[in-house]
């Protein structure tokens, strides 16, 4: 696995798990809670360190740190702090489990996670899901979805995308022509061709295919998908294309729309800020500034409030105005 170094949250030094555990216990003990201490500690330690703090907390006080956070905090701030405490490797599996649990499926979460994770990450998610929930993720997802949307999810779950290597220009031309014939040139759309090509070819190959497609058709591939497909399949195909082009740009857009307009999609805001904080949040911030002419910091500042805002801004790690 490539080591990610573009996160805003890195290992804190000098780190003392026992001292942090004691500070957190003091902050939550007795009447009232010192939220400031809680948020400062949890947003400035990386996930591995947070797990050590939780372990020290149990050793010292015989109490579960997450349970204490749940009983002492409320609302979105509580959700954010509890999300930060979830072990990194469980984070995506947990989000997917909740997306397919109970009445109604949260297609947005399935789309966001499966379109943006690398094949190695998807394999890891499937393994963790099986260990944690004693269930097969693919079976669970196919039980809750249908049609071409389901089929593309299944292709992505196989995590068999071609590895990046030398790009064969002949195959690039061929794939671009196949997509052109399957979409713009066809009465109706051959969704299967889009699913196979977008779900299995390598990232560098597909970037060349998108350029070639533009040359052949005069359209960006996104415009064709927009015109030729609809609903959940359209959203998933577009997410895959955007992630092939740039994962940080995809997440910058996801964050922007989670806060734009009336009301905030806090679940998405929390999920992206927590899951990308140690991976590529610096790159996401850069794309955000470039594409939306304002900083992520500024938008969080404007759109949220209280301790929840303070914690998100600390995770954001700085302003790009």
Taking only the tens place, the pLDDT of each residue in 97-131 is 999 987 778 999 999 999 999 999 999 999 999 99
- Residue 24 has which token pair? 């957190």
| Chain mean pLDDT for the chain | 94
What's the rounded mean pLDDT across residues 287-311?
Answer: 97
pLDDT of residue 156: 98
Q: How far from each other are the two terminal CA atoms of the chain, in whole angstroms? A: 33
Q: Is the pLDDT of residue 44 over 80?
A: yes
Q: How confident is the model at residue 187 (pLDDT cuts 50, 70, 90)?
A: low
CB neighbours of 73 closer than 8 A, spacing ≥ 6?
A: 33, 35, 38, 81
Q: How confident is the model at residue 188 (pLDDT cuts 50, 70, 90)?
A: low
Give Dmax over CA atoms of the chain in angstroms: 70
Q: What percent of the chain has pLDDT over 90?
A: 90
- Euclidean distance between CA atoms 94 and 84, whole angstroms: 13
Q: Is the pLDDT of residue 3 over 70?
A: no
- Euclidean distance between CA atoms 112 and 272, whole angstroms: 9
Q: Is the pLDDT of residue 306 over 80?
A: yes
| Distances 45 to 42, 234, 236, 240, 277 between C-alpha atoms, Å | 6, 38, 33, 32, 11
- Euclidean distance between CA atoms 306 and 28, whole angstroms: 18
* Lowest mean pLDDT segment, chosen from 24-28, 31-35, 78-82: 31-35
Structural contact between residues 6 and 283, judged by C-beta atoms closer than 8 angstroms: yes
pLDDT of residue 263: 87
Rg (CA), the chain: 21
Q: Is the pLDDT of residue 223 over 60?
A: yes
- Euclidean distance between CA atoms 130 and 125, whole angstroms: 9
What's the rounded mean pLDDT across residues 63-68?
Answer: 98
pLDDT of residue 185: 73
Structural contact between residues 216 and 179, judged by C-beta atoms closer than 8 angstroms: no
pLDDT of residue 2: 46
The dihedral region occupied by 26, where left means phi > 0, alpha psi between -120 and 50, and beta the remainder, is: alpha
Q: Write the burial class of residue 46 (CB in 10 Å: 0-12 exposed, 13-18 middle, 19+ buried).
A: middle
- Euclidean distance between CA atoms 270 and 84, whole angstroms: 9
Q: Is the pLDDT of residue 50 over 90?
A: yes
- Residue 74 has which token pair? 């409320």
Q: In the chain, which ranges are continuous DSSP H helix?
A: 17-28, 35-44, 47-61, 65-72, 75-85, 88-99, 107-116, 119-133, 137-144, 147-158, 169-182, 191-200, 203-217, 221-228, 231-245, 247-259, 266-276, 281-292, 296-303, 306-316
Domains with residue ranges and CATH for the chain: 17-88 (1.10.220.10), 89-158 (1.10.220.10), 169-245 (1.10.220.10), 247-316 (1.10.220.10)
- Contacts made by residues 18-26, CB under 8 angstroms, sequence distance 24+: 18/56, 18/60, 20/45, 20/49, 20/53, 20/56, 21/53, 21/56, 21/57, 21/59, 21/60, 21/61, 21/65, 22/60, 24/53, 24/57, 24/65, 24/68, 25/57, 25/60, 25/61, 25/63, 25/68
């Amino acid at each position: 696995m490539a080591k990610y170094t573009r996160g805003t949250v890195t290992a804190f030094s000098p780190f003392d798990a026992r001292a942090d555990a004691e500070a957190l216990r003091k902050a939550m003990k007795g009447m009232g809670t010192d939220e400031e201490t809680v948020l400062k500690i949890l947003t400035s330690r990386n996930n591995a360190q947070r797990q050590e703090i939780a372990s020290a907390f149990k050793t010292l006080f015989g109490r579960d740190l997450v349970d204490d956070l749940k009983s002492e905090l409320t609302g979105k701030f509580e959700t954010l702090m509890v999300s930060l405490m979830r072990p990194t490797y469980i984070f995506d599996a947990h989000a997917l489990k909740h997306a397919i649990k109970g009445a109604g499926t949260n297609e947005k979460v399935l789309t966001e996670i499966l379109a943006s994770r690398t094949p190695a990450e998807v394999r890891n998610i499937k393994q963790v899901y099986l260990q944690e929930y004693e269930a097969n993720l693919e079976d669970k997802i196919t039980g809750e979805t249908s049609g071409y949307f389901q089929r593309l999810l299944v292709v992505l779950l196989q995590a068999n995308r071609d590895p990046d290597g030398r790009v064969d220009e002949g195959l690039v031309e061929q794939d671009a022509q196949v997509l052109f014939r399957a979409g713009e040139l066809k009465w109706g759309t051959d969704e299967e061709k889009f699913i196979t090509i977008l779900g299995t070819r390598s990232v560098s190959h597909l970037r060349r295919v998108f350029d070639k497609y533009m040359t052949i058709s005069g359209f960006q591939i996104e415009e064709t998908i927009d015109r030729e497909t609809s609903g959940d399949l359209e959203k998933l195909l577009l997410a895959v294309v955007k992630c092939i082009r740039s994962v940080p740009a995809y997440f910058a857009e996801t964050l922007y729309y989670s806060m734009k307009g009336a009301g905030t999609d806090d679940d998405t805001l929390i999920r992206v800020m927590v899951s990308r904080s140690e991976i590529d949040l610096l790159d996401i911030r850069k794309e955000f500034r470039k594409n939306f002419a304002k900083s992520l910091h500024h938008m969080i500042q404007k759109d949220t409030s209280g301790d929840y805002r303070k914690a998100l801004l600390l995770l954001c790690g700085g302003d790009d105005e």
